[in-house]
Amino acid sequence: MKKIGKKVIPLVIFFVLGFTSMGTAVPSEGLINMHAEVDATTIGLLDTINVKVTVNTENTARVPNPQLPELKFFNILNESTKSQTSISIINGKTTRTKTITHIYTLEPKSKGTHTIDPISIEYKGQVYKTDPITITVVEGRVKSEKSVLPQEEDIQIDLDKLKEDIFILVTPEQSTIFEGQQLMLTYTLYSRLEIDSISLKESPEFPGFYKEEIFNATRLEYRKEIYEDKTYNATLLKKVALFPINLGTFTPRPLVLEMTVFLKGENLFDFFARPYTFLIKSNDLLINVEPLPQNSTGMPFSHIVGDLEVNISKRENTANTGESTTCYLTLKSTGNLNLISDPGIGLSKRGRVYLSETNMDTVEEEDKVYFVKKFEYTIIPEESGQLIVSADDLLFYDIGQEAYSSISPEPVEIKITGKDIYQEKPIIGQKRSYSEGSFHFIKGNVKELKSVSPSIFSSSYYYFYHIVLVAATGILFFIKMKREKLEKNQNLFKMKKARSLALEILKEANLAISTEHYSMSIDHIYRALATYIAYKCGKKPQEITIKNIHALLDTCFPISRSTKSAIEDVLKQCTMLKFSKENSNDGNMIQDLYKKTVTAIEEVESLRPTHSVRENEKNIKR
């Protein structure tokens, strides 16, 4: 009968409203009353506390949710909301009363006496607040009974049991890794409850890491799985591969979901489950990143940490000189291949090489994620014979061997046919001519026969041909000298103006930093330093890479080891920050890179140029 009574009362109110609505005035807006209370004022570090905020309204429209103050000493584990509305009619006056209850479950962060500042609601320009609440947190556990959260009259939520029935588990492969080493994180939802809906509240964040998204669930696909001797419905939520770019200890931010599940009360005669909405987050992680061992091989390090496979393949076995053919250099590694832009290939015979395309892909094998980067090179051979295509050794850190190791791909051979092509040809080729002789029988005695050649000056074509030849040679020589002089003037101008051009680009970087366009400022800093070094060394900015910067600095500049290290560090940091969204927003780090760049340029300018730079300037002036 209790169930029927709950359904009849609203119907009676509905009919009463129907017959009295024509004579009832529109109710005026009433006041809002709110207060907050807790289920305990003294708790332990291992306990949780429930903060109950009750909002009573009378004749009001929809009221916004309460605004919690900054909780410095507590974490929010869960929040739920319920409401109850009643309507009364007295002497023809209708009163609509609504009670909204918000319950927040908090866990303490530290011991001490902490204050929860007033919780507020702003409604139609007026602010309503609760009184502050003081909580004392001591060591251990104080609550002797399980934390029970009151809900409806006939259902209660045991939070400890709820955490056992549904949770998000993320476990790293290992807690201590090297800088640049891949760390795979898998987020799995375990549940023994009936789930009604799931929505993403907060995505996990990984400051200090470069991340590659491997998998994000678009629907729940359950499988039976046993965890700690209990059977759960498990579903994969997310997979992400992390690559640390900084040293230290890190705690990634958790994945937070808003869940609605169906729960039943303890009453045996209650056959109907009721929905319950709460927040659930993944467990905390602690990741320690250590530096790599010292590289004592003397080879440049590729910054790849993990497994590495390299191979070269070809499209055709035979090609003609002057016609294009294609070769591929493929890298497969568990390391971060985004740090390698162009490894380059070498040719045993004369020819031209162009990087035409780069493709990136991921492959999962044996619980590991491999990154595959394929470089496509277009080759135009200029010399016939057997062309051997090879690549330089790549030095990487092998996690399995715990040592630096180098790898070189197996070269491939291409048969080149056709005539050789010479890049440097004479302006006009000279053809060797032979004089034509004829016999003239002057006398009948054969002993007196003589060979007589006609005079070369007897033909008018001779004079015309040489006049044209001299004129064409002079014109082409004049054009060539003009072009070489223009190129020399441009190179000399760039060498003299390298500092001013770099500072102009750094002005743009400083402006981008001041307006917090950090990604743009990183590009400007890298471009300014690369432009300065390139123009000083007689190169193009596109030719400046992390791979060859060390050799260029040794050749062109008599600078100290610390200055060389600073320049190399700026270029490497800018390259890595392009792929790290979290760290690319660190204004202090980018400002430090800006200052290092300005200091390095000024230190180079304050020194006398090396012999190679002086010779370069003299050659350009000539």
Q: Please, are residues 494 and 501 in contact by the beta-carbon 8 Å criterion?
A: yes
Reported as a pLDDT band with limits 50, 70 and 90, residue 378 is very high
| pLDDT tops 90 at residue 412 | yes
**pLDDT (tens digit per residue) in 348-375:** 999 999 998 899 888 887 777 889 999 9
**What pLDDT, on the 0 to 100 scale, is given for residue 167?**
93
**What pLDDT, on the 0 to 100 scale, is given for residue 348?**
92
Nearby residues of 18 by Cβ (< 8 Å), 6 or more positions away: none
Tell me which of 328 and 195 has the higher pLDDT: 328
| pLDDT tops 60 at residue 514 | yes
**Hey, what are 568's tokens?**
């190399």
**Residues 216-228, mean pLDDT to the nearest whole number:** 87
**Residues 145-161, mean pLDDT to the nearest whole number:** 55
**What pLDDT, on the 0 to 100 scale, is given for residue 379?**
93
Q: Which helix (H) or strand (E) holds 183?
A: strand 183-191
Reported as a pLDDT band with limits 50, 70 and 90, residue 381 is very high
**Residues 314-341, mean pLDDT to the nearest whole number:** 90
DSSP state of 539: -
Most confident of 283-292, 487-496, 503-512: 283-292
Reported as a pLDDT band with limits 50, 70 and 90, residue 411 is very high
**Residues 97-124, mean pLDDT to the nearest whole number:** 88
Reported as a pLDDT band with limits 50, 70 and 90, residue 203 is confident
**What pLDDT, on the 0 to 100 scale, is given for residue 486?**
57
**What pLDDT, on the 0 to 100 scale, is given for residue 579?**
64
| pLDDT tops 90 at residue 27 | no
| pLDDT tops 60 at residue 242 | yes
**Residues 293-309, mean pLDDT to the nearest whole number:** 89
Tell me which of 265 and 354 has the higher pLDDT: 354
**What pLDDT, on the 0 to 100 scale, is given for residue 441?**
42
| pLDDT tops 70 at residue 191 | yes
- Nearest Cα neighbor of 170 from 238, 221, 242 is 238
- Nearest Cα neighbor of 76 from 324, 321, 278 is 278
Scanning 459-517, the segments in alpha helix (DSSP H) are 460-496, 498-514
**Hey, what are 531's tokens?**
């432009």
Q: Phi-psi bin for 302: left (phi > 0), alpha (psi -120 to 50), beta?
A: alpha
CA gap 401, 601 in Å, rounded: 41
> Phi and psi at residue 250, in whole multiples of 5°?
-130, 150
Residue with tokens 């591969």: 241
Reported as a pLDDT band with limits 50, 70 and 90, residue 21 is very low
**Cβ burial, residue 448 (10 Å; 0-12/13-18/19+):** exposed
CA gap 521, 595 in Å, rounded: 12
Name the average pLDDT for the chain. Answer: 78
| pLDDT tops 70 at residue 571 | yes
Q: Please, are residues 376 and 312 in contact by the beta-carbon 8 Å criterion?
A: no
| pLDDT tops 50 at residue 111 | yes
CA gap 616, 622 in Å, rounded: 10
Burial track 454-490 (b if 16+ CB lie within 10 A, e otherwise): eeeeeeeeeeeeeeeeeeeeeeeeeeeeeeeeeeeee
| pLDDT tops 80 at residue 447 | no
- Least confident stretch, 144-148, 329-333, 543-547: 144-148
CA gap 377, 326 in Å, rounded: 6
**What pLDDT, on the 0 to 100 scale, is given for residue 585?**
66
CA Rg value for the chain: 40
**Whats the size of the chain, residue-wise?**
622
CA gap 315, 320 in Å, rounded: 14
Tell me which of 262 and 547 has the higher pLDDT: 262
| pLDDT tops 60 at residue 563 | yes
CA gap 60, 99 in Å, rounded: 11
**What pLDDT, on the 0 to 100 scale, is given for residue 487?**
57
| pLDDT tops 90 at residue 329 | yes
DSSP state of 67: B
Reported as a pLDDT band with limits 50, 70 and 90, residue 428 is very low
**What pLDDT, on the 0 to 100 scale, is given for residue 454?**
55
**Residues 236-263, mean pLDDT to the nearest whole number:** 88
Domains detected in the chain: 1-150 (2.60.40.10), 156-291 (2.60.40), 301-417 (2.60.40), 494-621 (1.20.120)
Tell me which of 482 and 437 has the higher pLDDT: 482
- Nearest Cα neighbor of 307 from 342, 331, 330, 328 is 331
| pLDDT tops 60 at residue 488 | no
Q: Please, are residues 381 and 337 in contact by the beta-carbon 8 Å criterion?
A: no
| pLDDT tops 60 at residue 448 | no
**What pLDDT, on the 0 to 100 scale, is given for residue 435?**
38
**pLDDT (tens digit per residue) in 115-136:** 999 999 888 888 888 999 999 9
- Nearest Cα neighbor of 600 from 567, 556, 562 is 567
Tell me which of 606 and 181 has the higher pLDDT: 181
Calculate what percentage of the chain has a pLDDT beyond 90: 17
Q: Please, are residues 27 and 17 in contact by the beta-carbon 8 Å criterion?
A: no
**Residues 47-53, mean pLDDT to the nearest whole number:** 88
**What pLDDT, on the 0 to 100 scale, is given for residue 15?**
35
**pLDDT (tens digit per residue) in 587-610:** 788 888 888 888 888 888 876 554
Full-prediction pTM beyond 0.75?
Answer: no
**Residues 310-338, mean pLDDT to the nearest whole number:** 91
Q: How many CA atoms lie within 13 A of 157 on its CB side?
A: 24
**What pLDDT, on the 0 to 100 scale, is given for residue 30?**
58
* Amino acid type, 63: V
